Amino acid sequence: MKPILIKLSLWSLIACLAAGFWGCIRHDEPEPGETVTVKAVISQSGYVDEELDFKLGSEKDLPIRKALMDYIRPIFYSDVRDIDISLFDQRQHGTRTAHLTDFVNGLERVFSLEDVVSDYRYGAAANLSPNPSISLSGGETEQEYSLVQASGTVDSHRAALFSTRGRFNVRKEQGAQVTATLCMNNAVAALVLNRDSCEVKGIRATYEGMADSFRVLDSIYSYDRQVLINTDPIDIQPYLGSDQDLSSEADFWSYDLSWTQWTKTPLMVCGAGFPTRNLGSDVIDGKVIVWTIHLYVTMADGTITKNDIFIGQPVMAGRLKVIKGWLLGDGSFSPTPPLDPQGGIARPDPDPGPPTPPSPDDTVVGVNVYLDWKEGISYDPVL
């Protein structure tokens, strides 16, 4: 029997996210019943709008929502720029017997299997080039084929990471058809801050608790190494429009039940990485911590307030998570509105009406605050 050629046509991957690629596995001179067809499609997340509607769904939230959408669009709606595909022979203990890696540029690639009659598992990973902190490890065996995040503090992912896995059999004089779905492996989280009570020069934040690797053929994330994901600041001001004066339009630019009025443009940071665990192991005040936001607030006098914000809900692959909060006068983070000396919710003058009851973001389970924080020096936390 002549060797089977695996021909992957990747032209449509660069057309749009919802598009797929077609290929076929065939002989140099195809014989009836011995053609294997491979179809791969990209799975598009449907959870972005759901989270935006839940956290930023009112008309008054539109400037924040638009700014956030412009940031996350290149991540959630990425084209596939490069792809790595490997076939692992189950009769050779999962050893890789065929491999294709290339930038997707509309060309077709062909590679062959010398011993074609066998059982195969396949794995594919895509979009490594726009995410330089991610590498593809192993690959000689199916157990080693993994997407690996660099250790330490790394930049936010810039595009969606995709992968897929599956298996098929090649039998003499029998046909086969394979459909593979490329699914998104990373996730995005945004932190939005009301700063009416705080004079702030700037903020930065890192996320801790996201996975350090993903084993493609087993669909398993690992959390063995510490990884900190840098966030990017998102400027909301351009989305307000030149005719908007927040100080005079405080009543219009007010949030619904979960937010009080804001007269200073809110601050927002956003970052992407692998997902967090579904369940945490650490506990604070009886509530489980799944992951942590390290928020550094530079005050007007140059001092820095560090906040460790403990989050109780996971950030799942292919999804967006939005966390809202307030900055108090000393730069500390609060999931509920600050109170005035009379015990009501702080509002700008003139008071437009009775205070709205506090409605904390229930994703936040606790906060540690370090005032006048300096790099390399530890402080006793203020809870």
Q: State the pTM of this model.
A: 0.80
Which helix (DSSP H) or strand (DSSP E) does residue 26 occupy? strand 20-27
Cα-flanking dihedrals φ and ψ of residue 102, to 5°?
Answer: -170, 160
Integer Cα distance of 237 and 266 in angstroms: 9
Query: Can you give the pLDDT at residue 77?
Result: 81
Could you report the per-residue pLDDT of 138-183, keeping only the tens digit for each?
878 888 899 999 999 999 999 999 998 988 887 766 655 667 788 8
Q: 275 and 317 in contact (C-beta within 8 Å)?
A: yes
Between CA 302 and CA 142 the distance in angstroms is 52
| Collapsed DSSP state (helix, strand, coil) of residue 12 | helix
Residue 173, burial from CB neighbour count under 10 angstroms (0-12, 13-18, 19+): exposed
Rg (CA), the chain: 25
Q: Is the distance from CB of 269 to CB of 232 less than 8 angstroms?
A: yes
Q: How confident is the model at residue 4 (pLDDT cuts 50, 70, 90)?
A: very low
Summarize pLDDT for 210-262 with one digit per residue, the tens. Answer: 999 999 999 999 999 999 999 999 999 999 864 444 444 334 333 334 454 67
Report the mean per-residue pLDDT for the chain: 76
What pLDDT does residue 40 have? 56
If you average pLDDT over residues 291-300, what whole number do you get? Answer: 96
Domain ranges of the chain: 4-45+80-184, 48-77+187-370
pLDDT of residue 37: 53
The answer on pLDDT for 377 being more than 60 is no
Is CATH 2.60.40 what the domain over 4-45+80-184 is classified as, yes or no?
yes
pLDDT tens digits, one per residue of 13-59: 323 333 333 333 333 443 433 444 555 566 655 578 888 888 887 77
Calpha distance 79→39 (Å, rounded): 17
Whether 373 shows a pLDDT value over 70: the answer reads yes
Q: What is the pLDDT of residue 212?
A: 97
Residue 219: which region, alpha, beta or left (left: phi > 0; alpha: psi -120 to 50)?
A: left
